[in-house]
Amino acid sequence: MFFLRELPTRQMLLTYRDRFPDMNPQAVGEALRLLRRGSLLMRELEAYFSAHALSQTRFLTMILIDREPARDGLFPSEIADRLDISRPVVTDTIKSLERAGLLHSIRDISDRRAKKVRLTPDGRAALAAVLPGYFALIADFMDRSTDDAS
């Protein structure tokens, strides 16, 4: 998270360039706006999910599984790869979704180390319930923050 409320003015960036001549004020300004804007959206999304007993990661885990109905479930390691998060986080995420009855997993037949994770009917319902608000939040955010900061 990056939450600097007031980004440096153009003038402040130019002052830094005086001290560090290789510095590119344009790129730094853009990067800070990217970080600030992304963090604000992330914060709003986390708050939304939290109000629905979810989190970004739990939501995305469910989306990933839902997105591949052809497969009869995903392996935790696949989820870790696709979400680009560490496996221990996937372990905990699955555990918590199972406790909530939104996911269930079964040992793999051919590889007894592995397990397949599927959505329960409740899981599919929870996803459908949360998606409209998710899309609405994003549309609203993008509308509000149409780069008038640049």
Q: Which of 17, 35, 40, 96 binds DNA (CB under 7 A)?
A: 96
Closest Cα partner for 75 from 56, 90, 59, 88?
90
Q: Which of 1, 20, 132, 150 binds DNA (CB under 7 A)?
A: 1
Closest Cα partner for 138 from 72, 59, 79?
59
Q: Contact between 57 and DNA (CB under 7 A)?
A: yes
* CA gap 20, 17 in Å, rounded: 5
Q: Contact between 76 and DNA (CB under 7 A)?
A: yes
For residue 117, what are the β-bridge partners?
74, 105
Which residue, chain included where needed, has tokens 């918590």?
Answer: 96
Q: Which of 112, 146, 147, 150 binds DNA (CB under 7 A)?
A: 112
Letters for 22-61 (x = contact with its own copies by CB under 8 A, - = none) are xxx--xx-xx--xx-xxx-xx--x----------x---x-
